[in-house]
Chain A
Amino acid sequence: MIAIIDYGVGNLFSLQCSLAKIGFDAVVTSDKAEIEAADRIILPGVGAYGDASEKLKSTGMGEIVKNEAAKGKPVLGICLGMQLLFEKGYEYGEFDGLGLIKGKVVSMADVIPAELKLPQIGWNALEFKKECPLQKYIKEGDCVYFVHSYYATDCDYAIAATTEYGADITAMVNDGNVYGTQFHPEKSGETGLAILRAFCELEV
């Protein structure tokens, strides 16, 4: 069973459907016992860093995810969920992430040419930077769906893939049993489903 962490941000219907489509049961939950019993965890998220960081704290979900990650359970953060795996986020202020991966999340406006639109909305290709189990069923150059204005940096050691949007933008990260995708695998067609499958098949 996969626990999709419910801390009051975003629409989790598509994520749950995508896991069902590839044959894996997932439950959307904020129940401690249920999360502890799950064999892997997905941390979703849409919206602003500050709000989400606050909600992870106030609901206690952040502590639970950190504890489960420390036990070696596979954790996958998606989009804002990935950004929250880092130490800090700088979106309208400075906010704490979970610190499961070293690095910070900052605006892309500082690194991309001014004529490029923000947010980046659309399909962009993956360039692999290091081997990662999530790449098992996909190949370099495959496109995935992005919607974001902020990106993770100062995290070279963890970058498994980038995408080119006026600069190399962090797209997939991995540090031990902790994984993250800046893009939405649940909205990235067959490539996205293949990435979710690889996560769901990780040995635990």
Chain B
Amino acid sequence: MITKRIIPCLDVKDGRVVKGVNFENLGDVNSPVALAEYYSSCGADELVFYDITASSDGRKLFTEILTETARNVFIPLTVGGGISTIEDFDRVLKCGADKVSVNSGAIRNPELIREASQLYGDQCVVISADIKRVDGEFHVFAKGGREDTGMEAISWIKKCVDLGAGEVVVNSIDTDGVKNGFDLEMLKAVCEAVNVPVIASGGAGSIEDFITLFKEIPDIDAGLAASVFHFGEVEIKELKEAMAANGITARL
């Protein structure tokens, strides 16, 4: 049986890992390469590197860090942040990324998903959506969760999968940083709509939150989190053992 994946996410700015609560108050955590190696040794199933740099100097530093990570860490690497063109795909794939996650870039130009999936395969293209409830409806937000696009989220995700996205990351802005559990209602709605792997993000505060996620939504493929791993509130090894003890297939 395929195992449920646990994925630490590293937000990288100016060569350092950062993580904000509700996307603000960024605080410095650690060196990305060291943290990636540490997570890999603890049993992380995959890593996400998210480039939140705006400057070209920062971008160059990010690709150097990615290359250095790929030289030392041999689990799948997904890269996101500022991916707007096929050239961006090419740049990060050459540095050792296995999958590329698109968010605002796909909102501006959905055809990017089609082009990239035809060039690199569906498995390479991940649609990442920041979603928040607005007047009882799920809305897609752009620009790191700061801008309401007005688009309904479930139909947006379906459209992305039809265009060729091979995996979906659902990040609930409503639960992000609150550490009170994943957004089960939102995640269920996405799982019912698509038949590609769905990765839950936003809200993990404890081992129990992951257990609840996988038990309540058997179709969820992976749980993604950042600060609970970075600050040691959830140890990946303990999490995996707890999953196995609860009958959830995990790679130990």
Contact = CB atoms under 8 A, between A and B. Distances in A.
B235 interface: no
Contacts of A164: 1
B152 interface: no
B94 interface: yes
A59 B75 CA distance: 31
A193 B45 CA distance: 15
Given A17-B70, A21-B74, A123 B3 contact: yes
Q: How large is the interface on B (under 10, 10 to 19, 20 to 34, 35 or more residues)?
A: 20 to 34
Interface string B4-34: 0100000000000000000000000000000
Interface string A173-193: 000000000000011110011
A120 interface: yes
B195 interface: yes
Contacts of A125: 1, 3
Contacts of A121: 123, 166-167, 197, 221
A107 interface: no
Interface string B22-63: 000000000000000000100001000000000000000000
Which of B1, B74, B75, B96 is the most central at the interface, judged by chain A CB atoms within 10 Å of its CB?
B74
Contacts, number: 76
B209 interface: no
Interface size class of A (residues with CB under 8 A): 20 to 34
Contacts of A47: 121
B98 interface: yes
A46 interface: yes
Interface string A17-58: 110110000000000000000000000001110000000000
A124 interface: yes
Q: Identify whether the interface residues of A are mostly helix, strand, loop, or mixed.
A: mixed
B110 interface: no
A144 to B, nearest CB: 9
B122 interface: yes
Contact of B76 (A11, A46, A165, A187): A187
A18 B77 CA distance: 14
Contacts of A13: 70, 94-96
A193 B40 CA distance: 13
A18 B121 contact: no
Contacts of B76: 145, 187
A79 B196 CA distance: 20
Contacts of B245: none
A187 B75 contact: yes
Nearest to B4: A122
Contacts of B251: 123, 143
Contacts of A117: 195-197, 221
Closest 10 CB pairs of A and B: A143-B251, A123-B251, A123-B3, A17-B71, A147-B123, A122-B2, A124-B2, A13-B96, A187-B76, A18-B74
10 contacts: A13-B96, A14-B70, A14-B96, A20-B71, A121-B123, A122-B197, A123-B2, A124-B2, A125-B3, A192-B74
